[in-house]
Amino acid sequence: MPRAALAGQSATDAGQNAEAPRLSRAGARFAATGANIGTSEVRPFLPNAPAYDKFPFGLWQTCANRQARHSFRAGMGYADPAGYAPLRRAIAEYLAMHRGDRCDPEQIVITPGGHTAFMIATLLLTDPGDGVLFEDPGPLIARKLFESLDRRIVSVPVDADGMDFEHVLQAVPPPRLVFAMPSRHHPLGRTLSLARRLRLMDWAQANAAWIIEDDYDSEFRYTGRPLPSMRSIDAPGRVLYVGTFSKALFPALRVGYFVLPPALVQVFRNAMALMFRSVPLETQMVLADFIAEGHFATHLRRMRDLYTQRRHDFIETAAEVSDGRFQIDSPDSGMNVITWLPEGVGERRIHAKAQTMGVHCYPLSDYCLQPYPRSALILGFTCVQPHLLRPGLQTLAQVIATEQRQV
């Protein structure tokens, strides 16, 4: 193309006319995923969204201001790649008190969020082509991550006792990694039974495999105390516990952490040093103060009370406006509900129409490798302010009613 023509061409047009970039095999897989990482727009009924309107911004800012005045200057260099020591101690104390899971702070490695932890574990413990045991349905973005890293998904169904893996444990070669959400499976909300937890850890020990425990939504349980973690009963030392602050505080914080078997601590520290150097130190320092001063525990307690009420109001209002058009399956923990749709009603059409009318939801099929027997939507209730609850559910009911008439 002549230089004069190029001069009047926009960057977008030039990009569209350019040859496709030459990518690595991994790059091509990432380009092909089409992964939707979600939205920052908070509206009913965005799944997995905390109650941002109730976050204690003043207390958080107080901690940030104090650190800025007294500590940031001393922490402007490169930080410990394993994480800020006071934050690791604060996390260890929190886990011991609230999760019944005692660990040495030296077993904790701070990461830039939970998905970074999944990536690091995959790179360090498996090779391309190795199998990853994964629940179906299961979290879409985690599955896309494993697939993009060229790991082979070994899918297992989910029943009332959690992942039903017995039939694949004799596979040759065995999976090298298990991705599990024992406290609260996403999206179905099931809990992995004690018998299956023990069986899975015994199998991992016998086959030199590792288990990533994604402690998803464990803080928000509405009947009884939070369940003990799988790592807390891990005698063989095969479980890598991954926690984050995305749901308990806010996703943009981007702070997660491992609790590692002692044999893995050094290699994971080395990996953090080479790949990320460290999570931003100022964020870690503010979070350490927020936890150590009791603000985190207080915030969790208030959010459990708030979400208990919002869950109750959601279920009650849904029963009033649904007119039998949909059924709510609300597990006793977490931030979302399953909304089962009438037979013959397509969840993707409902999802698309609801989106255009200001109602946010996710189709269950987004999480599935194999078709699920029933159509459903995933709806969040924790971020919904009271005055938006009934109008949102009425809109959803109207969309479903219109679709039913067309079936």
| Ranges 29-43, 321-335, 337-351: which has the least confidence | 29-43
Q: Which CATH class is domain 57-293?
A: alpha beta
| Ranges 75-79, 131-135, 255-259, 378-382: which has the least confidence | 75-79
According to the model, what pLDDT value does residue 1 have? 46
Nearest to 81 by CA among 343, 257, 311: 257
Distance CA 262, CA 109 (A): 11
| Ranges 5-14, 29-38, 85-94, 300-309: which has the least confidence | 5-14
Residue 125 has pLDDT above 50, yes or no: yes
Q: Which residue has the higher pLDDT, 397 or 97?
A: 397
Mean pLDDT score, 142-148: 95
Q: How confident is the model at residue 30 (pLDDT cuts 50, 70, 90)?
A: confident
Residue 344 has pLDDT above 60, yes or no: yes
According to the model, what pLDDT value does residue 273 have? 94
Close Cβ partners of 71 (under 8 Å, ≥ 6 residues apart): 285
Close Cβ partners of 102 (under 8 Å, ≥ 6 residues apart): 92, 95, 96, 232
Mean pLDDT score, 117-144: 96
Residue 246 has pLDDT above 60, yes or no: yes
Pairing of strands 131-136, 177-180: parallel
Strands (E), 199-326: 210-214, 239-244, 256-259
According to the model, what pLDDT value does residue 54 have? 94
Mean pLDDT score, 89-106: 91
Residue ranges of the chain that CATH labels 3.40.640.10: 57-293
Q: What is the mean pLDDT of the chain?
A: 90
Burial class (CB in 10 A: 0-12, 13-18, 19+), 71: middle
Mean pLDDT score, 227-233: 89
According to the model, what pLDDT value does residue 15 have? 53
Nearest to 402 by CA among 365, 333, 354: 354
Close Cβ partners of 26 (under 8 Å, ≥ 6 residues apart): 148, 149, 150
| Fold type of domain 297-406 | Aspartate Aminotransferase, domain 1 (3.90.1150)
According to the model, what pLDDT value does residue 145 have? 95
Q: What percent of the chain has pLDDT over 90?
A: 72
Mean pLDDT score, 224-241: 89
Mean pLDDT score, 352-377: 94
Mean pLDDT score, 89-109: 92
Residue ranges of the chain that CATH labels 3.90.1150.10: 297-406
Asked if 191 and 171 count as a contact pair (C-beta separation under 8 A), the reply is no
Q: What are 32-77's pLDDT values in tens digits? A: 876 556 555 678 999 999 999 899 999 999 999 988 877 666 666 7
Q: How confident is the model at residue 6 (pLDDT cuts 50, 70, 90)?
A: very low
Q: What are 196-215's pLDDT values in tens digits? A: 999 999 999 999 999 999 98
Residue 395 has pLDDT above 90, yes or no: yes
Distance CA 305, CA 299 (A): 10
According to the model, what pLDDT value does residue 155 have? 96
Q: How confident is the model at residue 372 (pLDDT cuts 50, 70, 90)?
A: very high
